[in-house]
Amino acid sequence: MLPITFRRFMRPVLFKLALIALVAALAGQAWGARAGWMTASGLLLLYVLGFVVAIYRTIRWLEASQRRDAVDAPVGEWNSIAAVLYKARKTEAAYRAELDRSVTQLREVLERMPDGVVIVDASMLIQWLNPMAEQHLGLARKDVGLRLTNLVREPAFIDALTASGDSVASVPVRLKTGRVVVLQTIPFSPTQSLIVTRDVSEADRLDTMRRDFIANVSHELRTPLTVLSGFLELASPSAPISVQHLELMRTEALRMQRLIDDLLVLSRLESTAAPSQEDHVALSPLAQRAVDLARALSAGRHEIRVESMPADLRGAEREIESALTNLVTNAVRYTPAGGKITVRGELDDDGIALVVKDDGVGIAAEHIPRLTERFYRVDKSRSRDTGGTGLGLAIVKHVVLRHQGRLDVSSQLGEGSEFRLWFPRQRVVLHEPVREPEPLVVS
Ligand code: ADP
Q: What pLDDT does 2 receive?
A: 61
Of the CA atoms within 13 Å of residue 434, those in its CB half-sphere come to 0
Pocket of ligand 1 contains residue 321 by CB under 6 Å: no
Q: Is residue 378 part of a domain?
A: yes
Span from the CA of 272 to the centroid of ligand 1 (angstroms): 25
Using most ligand atoms within 8 A of CB, pick from 254, 377, 407 the residue to mutate for ligand 1. 377
Domain CATH number, residue 156: 3.30.450.20
Give the Å distance between the CA of 384 and the centre of ligand 1: 11
Q: Within this chain, do residues 319 and 419 fall inside the same structural domain, yes or no?
A: yes
Residue 253's nearest CA partner among 393, 392, 387 is 387
Q: Give Rg (Cα) of the chain.
A: 45
20 and 142 share one domain? no
Angle between helices 77-112 and 33-66 (to 10 degrees): 10
Report the atom number in ligand 1 closest to the C-alpha of 394.
6
- CA-nearest residue, atom 25 of ligand 1: 362
Give the residue from 176, 119, 126, 181 showing the smallest Cα distance to 149.
126
Distance between CA atoms of residues 408 and 421, nearest Å: 7
Residue 378 CA: nearest ligand 1 atom is: 16
Q: Are residues 54 and 73 in the same domain?
A: yes
What does the alpha-carbon distance between residue 18 and residue 20 come to, in Å, rounded to a whole number?
5
* Per-residue exposure over 235-251, b if at least 16 CB sit within 10 Å of its own CB, e if not: eeeeeeeeeebeebbee
Looking at the fold, whether 285 and 351 belong to one and the same domain comes out as yes
Identify which of 258, 297, 334 to mutate to test ligand 1's pocket (most ligand atoms within 8 A of the CB). Answer: 334
Catalytic, out of 219, 302, 367, 398: 219
Domain boundary among 170, 199, 228: 199
Q: Is residue 54 part of a domain?
A: yes
Tell whether 229 is covered by a domain.
Answer: yes
Residue with CA nearest ligand 1 atom 13:
377
Same domain, 190 and 132: yes
Protein residue with its CA nearest to atom 14 in ligand 1 = 377
Are 173 and 191 a contacting pair, CB within 8 Å?
no
Is position 436 within any domain? no
Report which ligand 1 atom has the smallest distance to the Cα of 380.
14
The number of distinct structural domains making up the chain is 4
**Does 100 share its domain with 118?**
no
Determine the distance separating the centroid of ligand 1 and the alpha carbon of 352, expressed in angstroms.
Answer: 23
- Counting ligand 1 atoms within 8 A of each CB, the residue from 393, 396, 419 with the most, and so the one to mutate, is 393
Domain final position from 199, 225, 251: 199
Atom of ligand 1 nearest to the CA of 356: 23
Question: Does one domain contain both 134 and 244?
Answer: no
Residues 175 and 261 in one domain: no
**Residue-level pLDDT at 67:** 67
* C-alpha pair distances (Å), 29 with each of 23, 36, 39: 10, 7, 12
Domain assignment present for residue 1? The answer is: no
Does the Cβ of 363 fall within 6 Å of ligand 1? yes
Mean pLDDT by groups of 10 residues along the chain of 443 residues: 73 88 92 91 91 82 69 66 78 92 91 92 94 93 94 87 63 84 88 91 91 92 91 85 89 93 92 79 96 96 94 95 97 96 96 97 96 93 88 96 96 96 95 70 60
Task: Report phi then psi at 30, rounded to 5.
Answer: -75, -45
Three-state SS for the chain is: CCCCCHHHHHHHHHHHHHHHHHHHHHHHHHHCHHHHHHHHHHHHHHHHHHHHHHHHHHHHHHHHHHCCCCCCCCCCHHHHHHHHHHHHHHHHHHHHHHHHHHHHHHHHHHHHCCCEEEEEECCCEEEEECHHHHHHHCCCHHHCCCEHHHHCCCHHHHHHHHHHHCCCCCCCEECCCCCEEEEEEEEEECCEEEEEEEECHHHHHHHHHHHHHHHHHHHHHHHHHHHHHHHHHHCECCECCCHHHHHHHHHHHHHHHHHHHHHHHHHHHHHCCCCCCCEEECHHHHHHHHHHHHHHHHCCCCEEEECCCCEEEEECHHHHHHHHHHHHHHHHHCCCCCCEEEEEEEECCCEEEEEEEECCCCCCHHHHHHCCCCCCCCCHHHHHHCCCCCCHHHHHHHHHHHCCCEEEEEEECCCEEEEEEEEEHHHEEECCCCCCCCCCCCC
> In this structure, is residue 439 part of a structural domain?
no
Is residue 431 part of the annotated active site? The answer reads: no
371 Cβ closer than 6 Å to some ligand 1 atom: yes
Distance 331 CA to ligand 1 centre (A): 8
Q: Give the C-alpha distances (Å, rounded to integers) separating 372 from 26, 168, 276, 327, 425.
A: 115, 40, 22, 12, 24
Structural domain boundaries, residue 217: 204-268
The CATH number linked to 228 is: 1.10.287.130
How many whole angstroms from 332 Cα to the centroid of ligand 1?
10
User: Quick one: 210 and 141 in the same domain?
Assistant: no
Residue 327 CB–ligand 1 contact under 6 Å = no
Residues 317 and 224 in one domain: no
Select from 176, 199, 222 the last residue of a domain: 199
Cβ–ligand 1 contact at 360 (below 6 Å): yes
Do the domain assignments include residue 440? Answer: no
Is residue 438, in this structure, part of any structural domain at all?
no
Q: How far apart are CA 138 and CA 199, in angstroms?
A: 13
Domain check: are 259 and 283 in the same one? no
**Confidence (pLDDT) at 5:** 80
Same domain, 296 and 419: yes
Q: Which residue, 197, 204, 186, 200, is CA-closest to 132? A: 197
Tell me the Ramachandran region of residue 236: left when phi exceeds 0, alpha when psi lies from -120 to 50, beta otherwise.
beta
Question: What pLDDT does 335 receive?
Answer: 97
Cα–ligand 1 centroid distance for 100 (angstroms): 63
For the entire predicted model, the pTM comes to 0.68
Q: What backbone phi and psi angles, to 5 degrees, belong to 76?
A: 70, -150
